[in-house]
Amino acid sequence: MTDTYRAAVVRRAHEPIAVEAVPLREPVRDEIAIEVTACGLCHSDVHFMHGTSGTDFPYVVGHEVTGRVAALGPDVGAGAGIGIGDAVVVAPMVACGRCRHCAAGHPARCAARLLRRPPIPLADGASGTPVLGVGGLAERAIVPAANVVPIDPRVPPEIAALLGCGVPSGYGAAVHTAGTGPSDDVVVIGCGAVGLAAVAGAAAAGAATIIAVDVQAGKLEPATAFGATHTVDAGAADPVEAVRRITGGRGADVVLDAVGGPRTLGLALGVRAVGSRLVVVGAPKVGDTLELGLRELFLTGGSLRVSIWGDCDARRDLPMLAARYLAGELPLERYLTGTYGLADAQRGFDELLAGRALRSVVTP
């Protein structure tokens, strides 16, 4: 057996990915080693690669991961329900179960939810920072057992990988964070992977109207397949005026900003109805700011919330999403716009940044 594995590493901001040989180690304590079968290419990785979500270079890229269990740490007992060879998905956010928020029944408020792993020693002695604690754009990943969720092996790896980030982030934002219901008119701004999942979540919640908005007309057709009742090409029409027209002048009861940033959040504020729930789902860049008219915000009422990983419970929601896919209720195959080998991962990210991909997947 080789004593190294291949991983995607970015040494400096904006440098292309280099596939490096990384020293192999066995899992310790409660860790599980995963043979990676697929890893999705997500905008969150790009923020780290470009230095806009942190500067702890070098980064070991990748966090949207599925694979097979290769080895168990000595403290992983039978109670974990995970065995060698099992198909699993890595959940980058899992509540600790011990803090005051978890004890009070509010795991979404847990400050320790985000997976934080020690640096990954690279072959030249440098310490690689695993993106979002995973570093899974690689042939192997090692994470705590608590962050490993068994998944139905009938789900293809290219689909299962999507359950690690984009799908729960959007779906959960609509269902859990916003609490979408049958009487709601919903607007989803941005129809990338997260936005399409938000559309699907709103549809599953029975929303009365679901309006998908994007500046790229090509992204609107898939939104209809995921449950949008209306689409707005923001590159060709005034989206505020369009949303007001569709909703009879009221505006939307739920607004989900799946892009994140001053421009889209400003749009989100413009399409709100009185008493609405505005949810920021997409990740803003470091330094992004927005000037708010506080009087208008106050008079409109409602709420402004941030959704991190869709406020999902990994062991409850990931199997549910997999079951919905297998039942034909969640057409996740519509996401896939490219499959690459590890050596071509940079090309996949380039397609994503050019707006030509919803979700590409690397199969190491």
Mean pLDDT of 187-205: 97
Provide the pLDDT for residue 2: 74
Mean pLDDT of 247-253: 97
Is beta strand 120-121 parallel, antiparallel or unpaired with respect to 127-130? Answer: antiparallel
C-alpha 180/C-alpha 188 separation (Å) is 12
Provide the pLDDT for residue 78: 81
Provide the pLDDT for residue 286: 83
Provide the pLDDT for residue 25: 95
Q: Please provide the average confidence, as pLDDT, over all residues in the chain.
A: 95
Provide the pLDDT for residue 338: 93
- Note the pLDDT tens digit of each residue in 294-326: 999 999 999 999 999 999 999 999 999 999 999
CB 247 within 8 A of CB 253: no
Mean pLDDT of 252-279: 97
- Note the pLDDT tens digit of each residue in 40-81: 999 999 999 999 998 999 999 999 999 999 999 999 988 889
Mean pLDDT of 215-225: 93
Provide the pLDDT for residue 344: 97
CB 170 within 8 A of CB 195: yes
DSSP run (H or E) holding 72: strand 64-72
pLDDT at 1 over 80: no
pLDDT at 355 over 90: no
- Note the pLDDT tens digit of each residue in 153-189: 999 999 999 999 999 999 999 999 999 999 999 999 9
C-alpha 307/C-alpha 181 separation (Å) is 17
Share of the chain above pLDDT 70, in %: 100
Q: What is the pTM of this model?
A: 0.95
Tell me the HSE value of 251 on the side-chain side, using a 13 A CA sphere.
19
Least confident interval from 145-154, 240-249, 349-358: 349-358
Mean pLDDT of 98-122: 93
